[in-house]
Amino acid sequence: MKKIGLLFIACAVVFSSFSQEKHESNKDKKLPVVQLKTMTGELVNTSELTANGPVIISFWATWCAPCKRELNTISDVYDDWKDEFGVTLVAVSIDDEKTKGQVPTYVNGRAWDYLVVMDPNSDFKRAMGVNNVPHTFLVDKDGVIVYSHNNYTPGDEDLLYQELVKLKQK
Amino acid sequence: MRKLSIICSLLLLSTTTYSQLERGNFTGNLETTFQYLNKDSLIGATQPPSKALLNSYMNVYYTHGNFRGGLRFESYLPRIQGYPTNFQGTGLGMRYVGYANHFIDATVGNFYEQFGAGLTLRAYEDRALGYDNMLDGVRVKLMPFRGIVVKGVYGLQRLGFNGGITHSSGVVRGGDAEFNLSQIFPKIAEKEVDFMIGGSFVSKFQEDNDDLLILPQNVATYGGRMALNYKGFTLNGEYVVKGQDPSQDNGFIYNPGFATVINAGYSRKGLGILFSAKSVDNMSFRSDRTKVLQVGLINYLPALNKTHTYNLVASLYPYATQPTGEVAFQGDIVYTIPKGSKIGGKYGTTISLNASTAFRPKRTPNLNYPGDSTGVAYSTSPFRMSDSLYWLDINASIYRKFTKNFSASLSYFHLALNNNVAAVTKQPGVIRSNTFVFEFLYKFKKQSSLRAELQVMLVNRIDSLNNRVPFNTKGAKPTDHGDWATLMVEYAINSHWMINVMDQYNFGNPKKSSRAHHPYITVAYVTGPTRVSVGYGRQRAGMFCVGGVCRYVPASNGLTLSVTHSF
């Protein structure tokens, strides 16, 4: 038992020193590579998402009320954002098999124009370090995560807008 | 011990060797929940002997080029109220290393995985629910061609946590292949058709240590699936069967099992329609045949009903999936009346309708059971159903955005739950309820808003013999705990601070002295990916469900402090 403890400490020390050194040199957090599917079953690799410019990645579920509030709000201004920033929104549904079938029903029922991808076993959610939904990320065209926000209250979309402005000015 | 040092050295090796060439990437998240609980005899809340409780975990993932590794530390000191009893102590709860390129993806250690809809295998976690049945062993994924994915898994299942991972006594192994024909043959895609076929096979091995019965040591489940999309139409389904698997769940019968789920839908901008059907019999599949509840499940049988968000309908009488058998149906429609139209208004109006139901399968008993040597108790076939109702849910909701700053919705739910089968309380028979919810949201100015919900749930009336009687019958009393109302007001002060005040009032409890208010206040602070919240007050007992898997959380009174962060 003692040995295990020692090993962990050693492991942690080396690990943390390494991470510090790395983070000082570059604070960038890159988009992890995960294989996902669209609503129609087409395979999508997360590394392909930023091919056409920056992306907003928003984790949601059909049973998550604030998530739907956020995405419905952005939906109203999405066309403007696309024109202004060339940004795409990827709505990552973490609905599992129980409610997965309701995703296209809701997405089209609410006339969303987003790229919707399915994460039924939360592989992408885990890789992105998401605790709970809604959680929204802004990723630049090089795949670097420049902004992330947990939770949604009305008006948070303005913060995201400001981040888009900042990104454009870079 | 040896395993551990290997993992550590592998992690270090992968990091140090490459650190000079290229930087690696650390990500992860943490969550800590602390509770201090008081005794509150009115609502039946007890104080745990330790008074204070703590759940905590932190995930650290590392990727570097093609390599990756991950760790999770978990603590339950002791676990928070209502969390499963097989979570205790503090220590390492997950560790893995992996390598992936365009052709192969290999993981050694812990991994999560799902084959198809999960009917044969689903290793997943839900930390809020206290569910984690990940596998510990090896997984290899091959992608020989765009549109083809072949997977193989072999490992021991995580059964619980006791200062470290506790393993199930059975071994789980399986394979899965999926072919997306429209990606393999671009000619199909040109015709706007998406077509996928797949199949999976999963087997478990557990020693027969029973003195009386001859138990199958190897039990297999296998099946096929397909999905077809054409323009707005979608059709998908999966069918799996299982060999003889006598277990605690099925009362040690030697019946085979089956499960099938079929979805058909149509959607276009502004309209979505879905119809689903499911038939399951004797399909509980565990790595340890003696386990019950949420422990040791290899497969996942989704409940076929909407996951509700309003707390009264979500947590008082929810339906959990019945692995031993059910026939279920669901219909779901979402329609948005176009913006700018006369009825739709300037911002559009959305109508949602949903209905789901589940019945007991119809079974022909084997009259010789248990006298004959087969051990088969009955026979049945897919979609053969009896008229014994397990569940009924009819709900409708209308949402309208009136102005730029004001929106409101009105919802209705009719639920009927067979409490003899999917029991959530002690009340026998079917519990019916009608719930009405009004919600509005008003946005003041930038990042400041007010949201409120009013919910009223009225349950059916019963006479002294527990028979259902009309609402206005003389001498009738409300079933179970009676009627409830919830009032919730949420005020977002700015983009960081939020206050939520809620009262759940059991105004129609048949026992007058139990008509308790359950006030609860939450203050939360959010900045970027970090959320800190403090909650204080009474919380009623209820079922906490995620994905059709439910856990009973007893009533409590006290303080809950929670921190989440992702990095």
Residues 106-125 of B with CB under 8 A from A: 112-114, 117-118, 122, 124-125
Beta-carbon contacts of B6 under 8 Å, excluding residues fewer than 6 positions away, are none
The C-alpha R_g of chain B, in whole angstroms, comes to 26
Given 3-state DSSP classes, what are the helix, strand and coil percentages for chain A, each rounded to the nearest 5?
45, 20, 30
Contact status, residue B363 vs residue B379, Cβ threshold 8 Å: yes
The H or E element containing residue A71 is: helix A65-85
Mean pLDDT of all residues in A95-121: 93
Contact status, residue B20 vs residue B64, Cβ threshold 8 Å: no
Four-CA torsion A149, A151, A135, A125, nearest 10 degrees: 130
Alpha carbon B89 to its chain centroid, in Å, reads 25
Cβ <8 Å between A104 and B529: no
Q: What mean pLDDT, rounded, does chain B reach?
A: 92
Residue B53 has pLDDT above 80, yes or no: yes
Q: Name the minimum distance, in Å, from the CA of A170 to any CA of chain B.
A: 20
Cβ <8 Å between A108 and B27: no
Given 3-state DSSP classes, what are the helix, strand and coil percentages for chain B, each rounded to the nearest 5?
5, 55, 35
Any CB–CB contact under 8 A between A127 and chain B? yes
Mean pLDDT of all residues in B498-512: 96
The confidence band for B128, taking pLDDT boundaries of 50, 70 and 90, is: confident
- Phi, psi for residue B124 in degrees, rounded to 5: -150, 175
Residue B177 has pLDDT above 60, yes or no: yes
Its pTM stands at 0.89
- Report pLDDT digits (tens) over B282-300: 999 999 999 988 899 999 9
For an interface test with B, which of A57, A60, A131 has the most B Cβ atoms less than 10 Å from its Cβ?
A131
Residue A10 has pLDDT above 60, yes or no: no
The Cα diameter of chain A in Å comes to 60
Cβ <8 Å between B23 and A126: no
Per-position b or e across B26-39, b if 16+ CB within 10 A of its CB: bbbbbbbbbbebee
With beta carbons under 8 A apart, name residues in chain A contacting B112: 121-123, 126
Tell me the C-alpha distance between B101 and B127, whole Å.
30
Instruction: Say what the pLDDT of residue B445 is.
Output: 81
- Phi, psi for residue B517 in degrees, rounded to 5: -85, 145
Instruction: Say what the pLDDT of residue B10 is.
Output: 52
Which among B386, B32, B309 has a CA at the least distance from the CA of A99?
Answer: B309
Note the helical H segments in B48-162.
none
Helices and strands: H and E segment counts in chain B: 4, 35
- Report pLDDT digits (tens) over B410-455: 999 999 999 998 888 899 999 999 999 999 999 998 789 999 999 9
**Strand partners of residue B28:** B60
Any CB–CB contact under 8 A between B261 and chain A? yes
3-state secondary structure B83-103: CCCCEEEEEEEEEEEEEECCC
**Higher confidence at residue A16 or residue B503?**
B503
- Cβ burial, residue A17 (10 Å; 0-12/13-18/19+): exposed
Mean pLDDT of all residues in B545-556: 78
- Report pLDDT digits (tens) over B480-489: 999 999 999 9
Any CB–CB contact under 8 A between A64 and chain B? yes
Any CB–CB contact under 8 A between B273 and chain A? yes
For an interface test with B, which of A44, A105, A139 has the most B Cβ atoms less than 10 Å from its Cβ?
A105
Any CB–CB contact under 8 A between B476 and chain A? no
For an interface test with B, which of A44, A153, A156, A166 has the most B Cβ atoms less than 10 Å from its Cβ?
A153
Residues 81-100 of A with CB under 8 A from B: 96-99
Q: How far apart are the first and last CA of chain B?
A: 29
The H or E element containing residue A8 is: helix A2-25
With beta carbons under 8 A apart, name residues in chain B contacting A146: none
- Report pLDDT digits (tens) over A14-37: 444 444 443 333 457 888 888 899
With beta carbons under 8 A apart, name residues in chain B contacting A23: 26
Cβ <8 Å between B1 and A3: yes
Alpha carbon B104 to its chain centroid, in Å, reads 30
Instruction: Say what the pLDDT of residue B211 is.
Output: 86
Tell me the C-alpha distance between B274 and B265, whole Å.
4
Mean pLDDT of all residues in B23-45: 92
Cβ <8 Å between B267 and A15: no
> Which one-letter amino acid corresponds to residue B483?
D
Cβ <8 Å between B112 and A122: yes
In this predicted complex, what is the ipTM?
0.89
- Report pLDDT digits (tens) over B216-243: 999 999 999 999 999 889 999 999 999 9
Residues 380-409 of B with CB under 8 A from A: none
**Residue pairs between chains A and B whose CB atoms are closer than 8 Å:** 226
Beta-carbon contacts of A104 under 8 Å, excluding residues fewer than 6 positions away, are A39, A116, B234, B265, B267, B272, B274
Which residue is associated with the tokens 């893995």?
B96
> Which one-letter amino acid corresponds to residue B92?
L
When CB atoms are compared, the residue of B12, B271, B447 closest to A14 is B12
When CB atoms are compared, the residue of A14, A35, A109 closest to B272 is A109
Instruction: Say what the pLDDT of residue B12 is.
Output: 53
With beta carbons under 8 A apart, name residues in chain A contacting B272: 104-109
When CB atoms are compared, the residue of A105, A150, A153 closest to B272 is A105
The C-alpha R_g of chain A, in whole angstroms, comes to 18
Cβ <8 Å between B23 and A41: no
Which among B379, B381, B359 has a CA at the least distance from the CA of B368?
Answer: B379
Instruction: Say what the pLDDT of residue B302 is.
Output: 92
Instruction: Say what the pLDDT of residue A42 is.
Output: 84
Cβ <8 Å between B61 and A98: no
- Report pLDDT digits (tens) over B66-75: 999 999 999 9
Residue of A nearest to B450 (CA): A154
- Phi, psi for residue B178 in degrees, rounded to 5: -135, 135
Which among B456, B463, B445 has a CA at the least distance from the CA of B487?
Answer: B456
Q: Name the minimum distance, in Å, from the CA of B127 to any CA of chain A.
A: 9
When CB atoms are compared, the residue of A7, A97, A123 closest to B117 is A97
Residue B21 has pLDDT above 50, yes or no: no
Instruction: Say what the pLDDT of residue B98 is.
Output: 96
Per-position b or e across B203-217, b if 16+ CB within 10 A of its CB: bbebeeeeeeeebbe
Residue A122 has pLDDT above 60, yes or no: yes
Instruction: Say what the pLDDT of residue B11 is.
Output: 54
- Report pLDDT digits (tens) over B345-375: 888 899 999 999 999 999 999 999 888 888 9
The Cα diameter of chain B in Å comes to 83
State the sign of the Cα–Cα–Cα–Cα dihedral B462, B464, B466, B469.
negative
Residue B23 has pLDDT above 80, yes or no: no
- Phi, psi for residue B134 in degrees, rounded to 5: -60, 160
Residue A41 has pLDDT above 50, yes or no: yes
- Phi, psi for residue B321 in degrees, rounded to 5: -60, 145
For an interface test with B, which of A108, A118, A132 has the most B Cβ atoms less than 10 Å from its Cβ?
A108
- Report pLDDT digits (tens) over B84-110: 999 999 999 999 999 999 999 999 999
When CB atoms are compared, the residue of B113, B334, B492 closest to A153 is B492
> Which one-letter amino acid corresponds to residue B416?
A
Mean pLDDT of all residues in B110-130: 94
When CB atoms are compared, the residue of A62, A104, A154 closest to B449 is A154
Cβ <8 Å between B194 and A18: no
Give Cα separations from B479 to B312, B462, B464, B511 (angstroms): 15, 6, 10, 11
Instruction: Say what the pLDDT of residue A24 is.
Output: 37
Which among B516, B493, B496, B428 has a CA at the least distance from the CA of B465?
Answer: B428
